[in-house]
Amino acid sequence: MTEHAPLIIDIAGTELTPADRARLAHPLVGGMILFARNWQDRAQLLALTAEIKAVRDDLLICVDHEGGRVQRFRTDGFTHLPPMRAFGAMWMDDGQGAKRREGSGALRAMDAATAVGYVLGSELRACGVDFSFTPVLDLDWGESGVIGDRAFHSDARVVAALAKSLMHGLLQAGMANCGKHFPGHGFVKADSHTDIPVDRRSLSAILADDAAPYPWLSSVLTSVMPAHVIYSKVDKRPAGFSARWLQEILRHRLRFDGAVFSDDLSMEAARRLDSQTLDFTQAATQALNAGCDLALLCNQSLGDGAAVDDWLHGMQAARDAGRWTPSADSEARRLALLPETLPQSWDELMLQPAYRNALDLLP
């Protein structure tokens, strides 16, 4: 049977328990996501990531670390990164009076976005973290509270330019990237953590505006996370469960060949499909069958973690019963997200001129 480890799980504490090790060793687990509860200090984080890699060196260690209000590690030397809207504001600032120079703000903003990508990626990698779910490619329509200042700008061209610059910085640090939330979450008001927002615009309108950064970034985008949004004129299913969005549009029309992550399947709103609430196994199989390569389940390790064990058992049973089929292509996309270079140590990083220069460029 084709090897494919599509499941991303989490742990409850700051070190691995025997149960954590058993779950991470499961052949269907391809990685884990860290949260602030898994953080104490840099020495502890480095020890934890080493423990994880000792279980299986191919596990992808992920985190949501964007800057602004979405940054899991903020103490013991980690740089406080600005929200992405700060770079959009910098783009618009060409100076005043005699110092005004048309376009200078855009160039400064792109340089600063590259710097933040480098700082973000290199600090995480120095602590053994492989991958961050960044950057946000949603447009700032001024409507979405859950997106808000996480977005670079309201203009898709500015978003694409700044995101590409940030991706360049991540690449310099040896880290892949994740554009989210395809095809765009910024237009809707509802929070997809608690509800399923509905976007009633046409496909042509969405592709012209919110989804425009995705084909423009096709040469550098290494992974994508779809939105828990229903685009009712395109498909009755949310994008993360929609073969039309993930296969017909993203894969074929936009020619994206990187990895596709489901968003967090623990959110009840994320599991509402065809007027029913799915269990974790049903939701993951639906996401994989729609075109996701990897399925993400967060915050179910708390307590005794029985929900994670049930999920692993359920996914294995679903595979054996043919309710989802392992994909060699999906596994190759997962492995491609792992860093190919060795990280610098934290002490080496602190002395590196490129890192110190990048800090000076941050807004």
Q: What 3-state class would DSSP assign to 226?
A: strand
164 is an annotated ligand-binding site residue: no
155 burial (CB, 10 Å; 0-12 / 13-18 / 19+) is middle
Angle at 266 between CA 246 and CA 286, to 5 degrees: 35
Closest CA relative to residue 295, chosen from 280, 279, 284: 284
233 is an annotated ligand-binding site residue: no
72 is an annotated ligand-binding site residue: yes
> 91 and 105 in contact (C-beta within 8 Å)?
yes
Q: What 3-state class would DSSP assign to 170?
A: helix
Active site residues: 193, 263
Question: Hey, what amino acid is at 363?
Answer: P
180 is an annotated ligand-binding site residue: yes
Where do the H-state alpha helices sit in 80-155?
85-92, 104-126
Q: What does DSSP say about strands 272-273 and 223-226: parallel, antiparallel, or unpaired?
A: unpaired
Tokens representing 252 are: 């074929």
Cα-Cα-Cα-Cα torsion 121, 347, 37, 64, nearest 10 degrees, comes to 0
Closest CA relative to residue 246, chosen from 294, 315, 213: 294
251 is an annotated ligand-binding site residue: no
Question: Hey, what amino acid is at 122?
Answer: S
Q: Which residues are annotated binding-site positions for substrate? A: 64, 72, 150, 180-181
Q: Which residues are annotated binding-site positions? A: 64, 72, 150, 180-181
